[in-house]
Amino acid sequence: MDLTTIVILALTGALLLLSVIKDRRKTLAALRVAYKGFVRLLPSILAIILVVGMIIGFVPAKWIAQVIGKNSGALGVAIASLLGAVLFIPVIIAFPLARSMLDMGAGIMATAAFITTLTMVGFVFLPLEIKELGRKFAIARNALSFVAAVVIAVVIGVIIR
């Protein structure tokens, strides 16, 4: 268990305790909301976990680095941002991967685009986002995040050579 998890659990426990002390009935209502939300999202989250496992197991990091590394210029940026949007990789793997991308000859722009779409755009959890926040919200956010990724990439490319 890492530090973040411990902090989250401790914080949640403290808040819950405080809530119980202040008002038992309200706490019960809060737990009911929590339970309903949890049950509602569980199947989607289990599906995401399976997809992430399959992506990391069957889409080798080396292949991603090669594909993005080989294509420089605008095409590289396009491929990188698309791959970043479709894939879902935890940052612990993403940053070393970005490093090896640069080492294999990827442009700084493509690397930045990849990291930005990887974190901000999520095709894997788009259905979940639609369910929670609505179709319009989810599509607008993802589409414009994609555009933002390209803008950020260009800014980085201009500033760092």
Partner 1 sequence: MSGEVDSGANGRKKSFRERIRWDYTILFLLIPAFVILVVVFPEKGGLARHVAWEYFKEMAMILPAVFIIMGLVSVWVERGFIVRFLGEGSGVKGVALSFILGSIPMGPLYVAFPLAAVLLKKGAKVANIIIFLSAWACIKLPAELMEFQFLGWKFTLVRYVATLVVVVALSEVIGRFFFKQGYEVPDEALDGVEG
Question: CA 105, CA 10: separation in Å to the nearest integer?
Answer: 44
Tell me: does residue 57 bind partner 1 (CB under 8 A): yes
Residue 87 burial (CB < 10 Å; 0-12/13-18/19+)?
buried
Q: Does 95 bind partner 1 (CB under 8 A)?
A: yes
Q: Does 20 bind partner 1 (CB under 8 A)?
A: no
- Cβ at position 79, least distance to partner 1 in Å: 19
Is 14 an interacting residue with respect to partner 1 (CB under 8 A)? no
Q: Which of 79, 90, 140, 143 is nearest to 114 (CA)?
A: 79
CB of 72 to partner 1, least distance (A): 17
* Gap between the Cα atoms of 48 and 45, Å rounded: 5
Q: How many residues contact partner 1, by CB under 8 A?
A: 77
Q: Does 119 bind partner 1 (CB under 8 A)?
A: yes
Q: Least distance (Å) from partner 1 to the CB of residue 75?
A: 21
> Number of H helices and number of E strands within the chain?
8, 0
Task: Please tell me whether residue 159 binds partner 1 under the rule CB under 8 A.
Answer: yes
Task: Please report whether residue 63 would count as binding partner 1 according to CB under 8 A.
Answer: no
